[in-house]
A and B are shown apart, each in its own frame.
Chain A
Amino acid sequence: MERRELFKILGATAVAAELGLAQHLHETIPAETYTARAFRPEQLAMLNQLCEVILPSDEESPGAGRANVALYLDMFVSFRGREMKQLFEEGVALVDSRSRAQFQKPFPELAASEQDAIVAQLAASEQNRDDAGGRFFRVLKIQTVLGYHYSDIGQRQYMHYRGNTAVAEFPGCQHEGHHAS
């Protein structure tokens, strides 16, 4: 945003000038470099593959794996601590062992239809709290959705969100059809 334009919106008062708001406000802060804390690189790679099956790429936007939601999951797990880490580590190991048992390959090397078959099994027991795969998938799915939802790719490219910025007017709903009762 142009400094001049911003001042027009704010009313160009002395306060804004004093605080140097134009320098700080709404500028894009470069992403801090994030180093994984919870997972090893091969675990992150598998998580990104799972994320990609849960929210896939299409012609509109990259999916959750290509948006690197695994790094969000790493943040989440490192924040939540030991039990959550265990749930994820066991979940990743389970996915790996099922892949090898059913398709004789690790999950990242499976064909798309094979990966989908593994995820479908997990999803089938999503509501079953007695099933280790179901418990893992439930948390993984919610956090994948949130991680994508919070990512620039998910939010800006896929959801078309253009907010978090300064505008001069807020028009609200302009659709006459919505106003009729």
Chain B
Amino acid sequence: MPKTVFDVCVVGSGPGGGIASYVLTQAGLKVVLLEAGPQLRAGVDYGYHRSPMQWLQHGLQHNQWTPEESLFRDRGERNHFTPVGDRPGHGWLKALGGRSLCWAGHSLRFGPLDFRTWPISYEEVAPYYSKAERFMGVYGYKDGLTNMPDGEFLKPVPMRCPDYMLKRGVEKLKAKGRRAEYVAQRKAMATEPHSSGRNLCHYCGKCGNCCVDAKYTSANTPIPRALKTGNLTLLTNSTMTRLLLEPDGNRITGVEYRDEADRTQRIECRALVMACNSIETPRHLLANTTRRFPRGLGNGSGQIGKNLTSHFNISVVGWFPELVGRDASNDDGTGYWHGLLTGLYWDEPHPHFERTYQVQVGSGYAPTRLAVTQLPGYGASLKRQLREINSTHALMNMQGVTRISPQKFVDLDPNITDRFGVPLSRVHLHYEQSDLAMAQDCNDRCIEIIEAAGGKVVSAPGRVRVEDLVIDLNHWVGTVRMGDDPRTAPLDRWGRSHEIPNLFVGDASVFSDYPEKNPTLTNITLSWRMSEHLAELAKRGELS
């Protein structure tokens, strides 16, 4: 290959890296995108509508137990980090598009209150939310909520009967002075013709492996359009192994990577965008040290790997006798989750926990083991309950923010490296009283709402214990956060290193703080904003 110096090297092709490649190439910059995994084709390499029994038989051949397809489970990385404490998990899908291939598409704007602790305000971010939503194709209703602002929406997807039952319960409690809202989900799926040209959603409910590319992914929208500019060089099956710096350690000069044929290669670039994920980006920054940065690149603040947080959950299942016998023979829709309980503790914090949670509500006829394994008895009555409860149930799944504290962080494993000699990351998770109090409040609230709605509880944790808490392995953020003060944050308000002027971060590790809402839309939005800033700096010759 003739020696090329790229304007920008983007590492990682997930939600953040995908949009960065698009924005930067549109601006005329020569970009190389490094992706550790292969390119997969929707409907060819994944996305099959087999029956559960067929999936089980298929899975057994690969020693897996799975009644449905799961791209994430089948192709996700294993044993790529060391868990410490309360069962931290970490998801990583090595493929072009990363975890945007398997995400559920939930696209909720963070609100004005959520940005109070950030260096940037909602008003500064809002225009980028609009750009991102228009580009991605996000459906939703205009709900007019204060702290989950409406966006630029495609035709909405309505709720199911159990959602309306819960909404009724919420309205009853609101009449008694409680604060909560029950609304339909907002997702990045094409429900009407869209500028991306993606296929329309056909409501089969298999969104985690969308077989027709109706759901937005980095692989089906920004990356193809970046390639069309002629400014993008795409390197798949190529794993970044080392960051290269000038001898004085002040600027990035490129990266070293292992190519498809397992040869060590180098790329030279004028700027670097790290978009690996909130565990891998800090890992690489910590693993690369110089005399100037003995604690990791751009880590003068000592904050890289700190401020780790994710969402965690518990589940409460209810059912509604009123709905028995409803005709719901095909309500697969856009997957299990159609409803959302939100608006909890937005402006009145709870005395016993920090931040807040939302509750994603799943329902529908498609077979899920969730609602049917706790039923009493056997025989005709069991058979009757199986249908009644499956068809009328609602699963309320908390999405709460784990308390940000020294109990949760990422560092390097001193003993284990990957096959390229890079130390693995260790993910430390220790739940605290605040976390337990949040889950307890959620348990109690969900039961209250189900009962207010005339429903019955099938299962709930009851008295919540640490063992009941389940971490969201795909929602980690905060490990390379933005902030105006270089002493307390590695990145500036744009996502650029305070200390290394041509180092940028485009994944969700840049989040300064975390609300209860799903991270991906904001990750894409902030990466878009960072990329425009980078392009502007490049145009002005201010990258060094």
Interface set of A (CB-CB < 8 Å, partner B): 6, 9-11, 13, 15-16, 19, 21, 24-27, 29, 31-32, 34, 53-56, 58, 63, 72, 75-76, 78-79, 116, 119, 123, 141-142, 145-146, 148-152, 154-155, 158-173, 175, 178-181
Contact = CB atoms under 8 A, between A and B. Distances in A.
Interface size class of B (residues with CB under 8 A): 35 or more
A163 B368 CA distance: 13
B43 A11 contact: no
B148 interface: no
B161 interface: yes
B373 A146 contact: yes
15 contacts: A21-B211, A24-B44, A55-B383, A79-B60, A145-B382, A149-B372, A150-B67, A152-B53, A159-B387, A161-B365, A163-B205, A167-B330, A170-B203, A171-B158, A172-B157
Nearest to B164: A178
Contact of A13 (B63, B171, B199, B326): B199
Contact of B204 (A56, A142, A155, A163): A163
Interface in B16-55: 41-44, 48-54
Contacts of B380: 56, 58
A154 B390 CA distance: 12
Contacts of B387: 158-159
B65 A79 contact: yes
A170 B158 contact: yes
B543 interface: no
A145 B204 contact: no
Contacts of A76: 65
A155 to B, nearest CB: 6
B165 interface: yes
A25 B43 contact: yes
Contact of A164 (B60, B326, B366): B366
Contact of A161 (B50, B160, B165, B329): B329
A163 B43 contact: no
A106 B67 CA distance: 33
A145 B375 contact: yes
Contacts of A25: 43, 49, 211-212
B197 A175 contact: no
A164 B49 contact: yes
Contacts of B198: 13, 15
A29 B65 CA distance: 19
A10 B200 contact: yes
A163 B44 CA distance: 21
B352 interface: no
B526 to A, nearest CB: 29
Contacts of B268: none
Kindly list the 7 A-B residue pairs having the minimum CB-CB distance in the complex, ordered from nearest: A172-B158, A150-B52, A166-B202, A181-B171, A162-B329, A163-B332, A178-B164
Contacts of B43: 19, 21, 24-25
Contact of B200 (A9, A21, A162): A9
Contact of A151 (B53, B163, B193): B53
A123 B378 contact: yes
Given A56-B379, A145-B375, A163 B386 contact: no
B332 A54 contact: no
Interface string B346-360: 000000000000000
Contacts of B364: 163
A9 B201 CA distance: 8
Contact of B53 (A31, A163, A169): A31
Given A31-B53, A161-B329, A163-B332, 15 more contacts: A15-B198, A29-B54, A32-B57, A53-B378, A55-B382, A55-B383, A56-B383, A58-B383, A145-B375, A146-B67, A150-B67, A161-B365, A161-B366, A163-B366, A173-B161
A75 B54 contact: no
B80 interface: no
Contacts of B53: 31, 72, 150-152
A55 B67 CA distance: 20
